[in-house]
Amino acid sequence: MQTAVATHSIAVVLVAMCVLTPASAAKPDWDQSANIKDAAQRIAEIQRTQGASKAFDYISDCYKTHSLSSEYTKAFEGCIAQDYLETQILALVYSRLPPETLKKMGAPDPKALAESMGQRVTAAFASYKVPVARVERFKKLVDEDGFPVFFKALFPGVEVPKLHHGPTPDQKAPANKPTEKTPDKAPDNK
């Protein structure tokens, strides 16, 4: 159940992000799906070989470097995708651990992860006035194209979980139905 809460929290943050972004940024002239897949592969390699702390350091440096541009760029979009993916996987894994275990590890709870990522991503999109429709398309591309690449690179041979972030604001959740199908056990990060 915590997994559903974690992924739903990420979805809520992204919906809020869409509401806050004014429309004006130019449409990307690059293949966003390919860019997101490439960004997913790169951050998965860092996560797999150096761990989550180094992955988040890389993402932080990515934002610092690529936010200097006066225009929304392919590289900056990659930073946002990596932030979303890294946060999503940690929220998924951490949501399967008891709160006392997270506390002993010094790890944040999944909701706190989603909220902090939401603040970063909201600021990133808002700084370039990315329109709501583009933010929604970006999220869909990351979920459908980037997440499978990222997950398979981290956990070879493990089936990619189906992520369901809950209903959109104009939809109601079905009563007494599961909101997410995920594996019973978090995969080991080897």
In tens, the pLDDT along 95-152 reads 999 999 999 988 888 998 999 999 999 999 999 999 989 999 999 999 999 999 999 9
Q: Where along the chain do its domains lie?
A: 2-22+31-154
Residue 44 neighbours by CB under 8 Å, 6+ apart? 85, 149, 150, 153, 154
3-class DSSP assignment, residue 160: coil
56-60 long-range contacts (CB < 8 A, ≥24 apart) are: 56/86, 58/82, 59/83, 59/86
Residue 34 has pLDDT above 50, yes or no: yes
What is the pTM assigned to this prediction? 0.75
